[in-house]
A and B are shown apart, each in its own frame.
Chain A
Amino acid sequence: MQKNRVFVNAYESLSCAGNTAELMEAIYAKKSAITIDTSYMTEHKAGLGSFAPHELFPSLISVTQAVLDQSNLENFNETLLIVGSSVGGIGKSEQIFFRDKNYKNIDPKEHAISVLSDTLDKAFSFKDSRSISTACTSSANALMLAQRLINLGAYNNVLIVGADALCYTTVCGFQALGVLSTQECTPFQTGREGMNVAEGIAALLLQSSQTDESIELCGSAGSSDAFHMTNPDPEAGGAISCMQKAVENAGLKITDIDYVNAHGTGTQANDAVEALAVETLFTHNPPMSSTKAITGHTLGAAGALEAVIACEVIKQQKIAPQTALKEAENTTVNLPSETYEQKINYVISNSFAFGGNNTAVIFGAVK
């Protein structure tokens, strides 16, 4: 069966580094937007990525409106919305519980993941909506589903929104796991301290029709480690499997990949395994970097935010350098220290999550 091609025709984002234009400027200038914070844990410093003074719900609408304004659509009435989020409305529930010491004033609808799709649907009246919550792969999986739906001809327009805000549960939870960095994170660095929890919103309009500005969503795939709830398979089986299947799904060869936008959280376990996976699979040694050194880890929003970065890397034809890297732990993989121009046809973006949930998405220049 002939598959419909999938084009990314409009996108916008908000992270601690600002909007998409500001984010790319920060990435290419190697300027981390992480701040050192004690507001969530008074006895511990943590590097966090906050988009304050912006707030989640108004920003969710303004980022989505920006995508609509860029697009060839008058409204989203014939568009499917797929939201990816790990946290949903828990930040508000926490505040109510800390104040009241009971659940009585918590509205279950505002606590759930669906508060995001409900908010957007109320503002824009989508044809239908779905929401995916697979922790840190949530919006990458949303992209994968959107690709499949458009490939099959079930939809012509799908809006992907990845969104997660900072809250006590995630900041203190990652602290409990012992993986938070007290400073700006240093992905792939020898002796790295850990990750930066962050907040972010990213929206991408995927369509079956091509425009002059299109980037193609060429392929995607998922896998499960079936190894441990939080630690990745040390042999990198799950990570290799999803990247390999994504390349096959895109109809490409391994050597076609020009840049790897790594999951690269800055934790010991993730970065070692991801570097092993990339080293094993991409023997032509394409440049790889983790832009979480700039944005922190935006959890369920990360897949969509890094999809925006992948599209920009292709449009600008400039490799994103690895910020904050002094001495790489894995000396085989190609971690560029500076921004440079290069012919970039295809970018693979990785997302890995609790439960050993792995997703890889491939973007390409339209041919």
Chain B
Amino acid sequence: MKINFKIIAMAKVACAGKCDSLDEKRIVPKMMLRRRLTRGSRLMVYLADACGFSEGAVVYGSAYGEMQATADIVGAIDVNEPISPTAFQNSVYNTAPSYFSLLHKNKSEILTVSNGNATSRNVLQTGALQAVTTGKDVLLVCCEAINIPNIDEVNSCTEYLESGVALTLVPTDEEANVEVAELEHKGFAPSLWNMLDVLIACESQESAVVALEL
């Protein structure tokens, strides 16, 4: 089932290493909260800010989740050291959108998708469903933050070790005016590709309307 959606805002970020310009001090003024943010959370709040979104349902996606927290936990267990409680609470896949909800006191539904290379396709499908269900704007974010020590032992194809893409959409009765083509986005994790396809297709259109599968 396909339904048409107006793309209200979009943003992306990609860095070969650590993204240094995420404007965290302005976006997250409370130092205690800012200090706890994972890399994925920093990407997420940056992208949400770029989309001007602070209230409403959120669908977040990541194929690999919070890699640094996971590595910290497994590393500590291996050498029989205590696990940081913060690392454990930050290790779940919904960490980034949960920090977003704390930051903005956003009590709306949050869903997190993780389905390998199909992750951003699933985010689009789930986001579309949430937008139809609520009838309101929904924020879709897909991020990968794999910039951890020794990641080259398992990563050979992703150049942008920190990357993310965001879209806000709302259902519309207007006709679709954008064709979305499936492209290869070299350097980006494949888990982001389907959302990058939509972003690229909509970039040149002032009021983009796309048809998305639920």
Q: A152 within 8 Å of B by Cβ?
A: yes
- A14-22, A24-32, A223-231: which one contacts chain B? A223-231
Size of A's binding interface in residues, CB under 8 A: 61
Contact: A102 with B153, CB < 8 Å? yes
Instruction: Return the chain B residue nearest A173 by Cβ.
Output: B88
Instruction: Indicate if the CB atoms of B77 and A133 lie closer than 8 Å.
Output: no
A126 CB-CB contact with B under 8 Å:
no
Mark B150-182 against chain A: 1 for CB-CB distance below 8 A, else 0. Answer: 110111000000000000000000000000000
State A204–B175 Cα separation when bound (angstroms).
Answer: 37
Q: Determine if B153 and A104 form an interchain contact, defined as CB atoms under 8 angstroms apart.
A: yes
The residue of chain B having its C-beta at the shortest distance from the C-beta of A88 within the complex is B114
- Chain B residues within 8 Å of A88, by CB: 114
Is residue A52 contacting chain B, with contact meaning CB distance below 8 A? no
- Answer whether residue B183 sits at the interface, using C-beta atoms and an 8 A cutoff: no
- Most chain A CB within 10 A, of B84, B151, B154, is at B154
- The size of the chain B interface, using a CB distance under 8 A, is 54
* B107 contact from A129, A172, A225, Cβ within 8 A: A225
Judge whether B115 is part of the interface by a CB distance below 8 angstroms: yes
Give the A-B contact count at a CB cut-off of 8 A. Answer: 175
Provide the B120-160 mask, 1 if CB < 8 A to any CB of A, else 0. 00100110010011000000000000000011011100000
A47 at the interface (CB under 8 A from B): no
Q: A102-B153, A152-B132, A176-B84 are in contact. Are A356 and B1 (CB under 8 A)?
A: no
Docked complex Cα distance between A86 and B70 (Å): 12
Contact between chains at B115 and A102 (CB < 8 Å): no
Contact of B154 among A106, A129, A177, A238 (CB under 8 A): A106
Contact partner, A176, options B85, B111, B118, Cβ 8 Å: B85
Contact of A226 among B70, B85, B105 (CB under 8 A): B105
Q: Which residues of A contact B (CB under 8 A)?
A: 86, 88, 90, 93-94, 97-98, 101-104, 106, 108-109, 111-114, 117-118, 129-135, 141, 145, 148-149, 152-154, 168-169, 172-178, 221-230, 237-238, 241, 353-357
Interface pairs (11), CB distance under 8 Å: A101-B78, A103-B153, A104-B153, A131-B122, A133-B93, A145-B111, A148-B129, A229-B90, A230-B89, A354-B89, A357-B94
Q: List the 6 closest pairs (A to B, CB-CB), nearest first.
A: A355-B98, A114-B116, A173-B88, A133-B93, A176-B83, A222-B109
